[in-house]
């Protein structure tokens, strides 16, 4: 039997689907992150192998397994060196022998998310979770991305940026450099801290984690509903940053007067009034033919679809 392999190698977990030639999923596997930027190269290889071989084990077949086509979408697969690193991770000693090197697609996880979210040939995905990213493709196959360069270079429109701005707003209010904000109370409650100055220990002790900072976006969202002006401004600013990313990609793809889908994914879209609704309103002004779609399907389904597409090239 011919098998296809789809992999979503995220920053927090790896999801694997094995499908038949028609795209019907017949087995799945899950394990920890296979993004080397999150866990390092060796752990990424280990986690990827566990997820894939668990899926193979779940097939419960005695026949030799070989994937005639496969697609791996990895978080953090952004630049040239990343591609080389992820190729080494995929074609490791244990897994490499199960793959056809000519029919193995290795891409960013935004690409598989985009494919799973829309059937339209013109489409963009905007991610606003702990990190941010924007990526699109048009009917001619042209691919354009914006942002997504992580927390130092470009992570605007992300939970991390929201959380970081919230922490800075609290410290500005404490010093008297900025206006008072409910965040001074709600963040301490969220983190179970007693004093504002306890934030310094929380922020600087231990290894850096943008995840713990990004998690504070949920608190900011709550305080906007309580009418906190500082929180409202933070979310609105990051919504505008997301608008800039989408607008940049849409214009480069020639979507100004075309129908296209925008798939949105990430926890910030739960902040409807001061993030999601602002983004939708602003984009409708410039792109009247845009259609907004939440990502409902599992991104790994997009990896399976791209594995099927890869077969058509041969």
CATH number of the domain to which 38 belongs? 3.30.420.40
Residue 106 has pLDDT above 90, yes or no: yes
Q: Are both 126 and 254 inside the same structural domain?
A: yes
Whether residue 272 is contained in a domain is answered as: yes
Measured distance CA(264)–CA(126) in Å, rounded: 5
The pLDDT, as a whole number, for residue 290 is 97
Residue 18 has pLDDT above 90, yes or no: yes
- Partnered with residue 52 across adjacent β-strands are none
Residue 63 has pLDDT above 90, yes or no: no
The per-residue DSSP string of 129-195 comes to SSSEEEEEE-TT--EEEE--SHHHHB-TTSHHHHHHHHHHHHHHHHHTSS---THHHHHHHHHT-SS
Q: Are both 32 and 162 inside the same structural domain?
A: no
How would you label 268-287 residue by residue, b for 16+ Cβ within 10 Å and e otherwise?
Answer: bbebeebbbebbbebbeeeb
Whether residue 108 is contained in a domain is answered as: no
Q: Are both 226 and 130 inside the same structural domain?
A: yes
The pLDDT, as a whole number, for residue 150 is 82
The pLDDT, as a whole number, for residue 313 is 66
Whether residue 246 is contained in a domain is answered as: yes
Structure-model confidence comparison of residues 70 and 129, the more confident one: 70
Q: Are both 75 and 129 inside the same structural domain?
A: no
Measured distance CA(51)–CA(203) in Å, rounded: 33
Measured distance CA(286)–CA(189) in Å, rounded: 41
- CA 262 from chain centre, in angstroms, equals 14
Q: Are both 136 and 271 inside the same structural domain?
A: yes
Q: Are both 158 and 125 inside the same structural domain?
A: yes
Element (H, E) at 52: helix 41-58
Measured distance CA(72)–CA(4) in Å, rounded: 11
Q: What is the chain's alpha carbon radius of gyration, rounded to the nearest angstrom?
A: 21
How would you label 240-250 residue by residue, b for 16+ Cβ within 10 Å and e otherwise?
Answer: ebbbbbbbbbb
Structure-model confidence comparison of residues 164 and 314, the more confident one: 164
Sheet holding 123-128, edge to edge: 143-146, 132-137, 123-128, 260-265, 290-294
Q: Are both 81 and 133 inside the same structural domain?
A: no
> Taking the model in full, what pTM does it have?
0.86
- pLDDT tens across 148-206, in order? 888 888 899 999 999 999 999 999 999 999 999 999 999 999 999 999 999 999 999 88
Strands (E), 156-306: 260-265, 290-294
Contact by Cβ (8 Å): 263, 118: yes
Q: Are both 94 and 125 inside the same structural domain?
A: no
Number of compact structural domains in the chain: 2
Whether residue 11 is contained in a domain is answered as: yes
Whether residue 104 is contained in a domain is answered as: no
Q: Are both 282 and 143 inside the same structural domain?
A: yes
What domain range includes position 288? 120-295
- 3-state secondary structure at position 69: strand
Among the three residues 99, 132, 166, which one is the final residue of a domain in this structure?
Answer: 99
Whether residue 52 is contained in a domain is answered as: yes
Whether residue 312 is contained in a domain is answered as: no
Q: Are both 163 and 239 inside the same structural domain?
A: yes
The pLDDT, as a whole number, for residue 62 is 81
Measured distance CA(59)–CA(166) in Å, rounded: 48
Q: Are both 85 and 166 inside the same structural domain?
A: no
Measured distance CA(226)–CA(232) in Å, rounded: 10
Q: Are both 84 and 149 inside the same structural domain?
A: no
Whether residue 110 is contained in a domain is answered as: no
């Amino acid at each position: 039997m011919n098998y296809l392999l789809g992999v979503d190698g995220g920053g927090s977990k790896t999801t694997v689907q094995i499908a038949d030639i028609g795209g019907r999923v017949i087995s799945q596997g899950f394990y920890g992150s296979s993004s080397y930027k999150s866990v390092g190269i060796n752990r990424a290889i280990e986690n990827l192998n566990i997820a894939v071989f668990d899926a193979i084990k779940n097939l419960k077949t005695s026949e030799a397994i070989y994937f005639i086509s496969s697609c791996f979408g990895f978080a953090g697969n952004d630049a040239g060196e990343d591609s080389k690193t992820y190729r080494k991770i995929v074609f490791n000693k244990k897994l490499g022998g199960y793959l056809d090197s000519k029919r193995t697609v290795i891409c960013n996880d935004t690409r598989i998310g985009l494919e799973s979210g829309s059937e339209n040939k013109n489409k963009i995905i905007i991610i606003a979770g702990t990190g941010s990213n924007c990526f699109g493709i048009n009917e001619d196959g042209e691919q354009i991305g914006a942002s997504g360069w992580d927390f130092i270079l470009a992570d605007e429109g992300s939970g991390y940026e929201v959380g970081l701005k919230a922490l800075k707003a609290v410290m500005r209010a404490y010093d008297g450099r900025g206006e008072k904000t409910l965040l001074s109370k709600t963040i301490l409650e969220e983190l179970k801290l007693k004093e504002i100055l306890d934030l310094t220990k929380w922020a600087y002790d231990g290894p850096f984690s943008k995840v713990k900072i990004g998690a504070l976006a949920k608190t900011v969202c709550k305080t906007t509903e309580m009418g906190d002006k500082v929180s409202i401004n933070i979310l609105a600013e990051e919504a505008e940053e997301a608008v800039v990313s989408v607008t940049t990609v849409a214009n480069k793809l020639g979507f100004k007067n075309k129908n296209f889908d925008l798939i949105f994914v990430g926890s910030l879209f739960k902040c409807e009034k001061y993030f999601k609704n602002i983004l939708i309103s602003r984009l409708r002004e410039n792109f009247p033919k845009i259609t907004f779609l939440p990502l409902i399907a599992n991104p790994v389904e997009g990896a399976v679809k791209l594995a099927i597409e890869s077969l058509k090239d041969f």
